[in-house]
Amino acid sequence: MTGGAKRLLEERRLEDGVVGRKPGRAAPRTVTVNAAESPLGWLLARGHVSRRQYEAGERLRADWERAQLDPRVTMSWSAAPVARSRGGASLGPDLGGSQIDAKRRFNDAVAEAGPGLSDILWRIVCAGEGMRDAESALGWPARAGKLVLTIALDRVADYYRIR
């Protein structure tokens, strides 16, 4: 790398398919993650969002993924639901405790951002849309999304108590 270039690749621990660090666990694998792959990482690499805002976005995205809120693209091959009554299938999905907690945290963080700010927050952080695509989908003028996103990320950082 040349002297002034920023390093876009970071090494993080990968345990059980999840990027992160769990103390007291044995020998996790280490992977290299390209921070520029996500629109939020791209904004961080160019100085458009602060490290605090980036961390808030990553925590929000992690909760979104842990809660499995992304749309399914194919059929679910998990076992068929067991009927809980004589006449039909179960009333809803059987969610694990960590998945329920992640969904609650995600919903609370988005609510903390506010109704006018949550749209751009979800599009950039969770859906992985580029800024230009998100702005045009919302009918906003160019460069308005960055300002709104930074305000939303500040509120989410406050929710997650990131300093």
pLDDT digits over 10-60, tens only? Answer: 555 545 544 555 556 555 566 565 655 789 999 998 899 999 999 999 999
> Whole-angstrom Cα distance, residue 128 to residue 122?
8
Average pLDDT, the chain: 79
Which region holds residue 16: left if phi is over 0, alpha if psi is between -120 and 50, else beta?
Answer: left
Of 26-30, 67-71, 101-105, 115-119, least confident by mean pLDDT is 26-30
> Whole-angstrom Cα distance, residue 67 to residue 16?
16
Q: What is the mean pLDDT of residues 79-105?
A: 68
Which pLDDT belongs to residue 70?
Answer: 76
> Whole-angstrom Cα distance, residue 131 to residue 124?
7
Whole-Å CA distances, 154 to 72, 103, 148: 30, 20, 10
Percent of the chain with pLDDT over 70: 64
Q: Which tokens belong to 81?
A: 């639901």
pTM above 0.75, yes or no: no
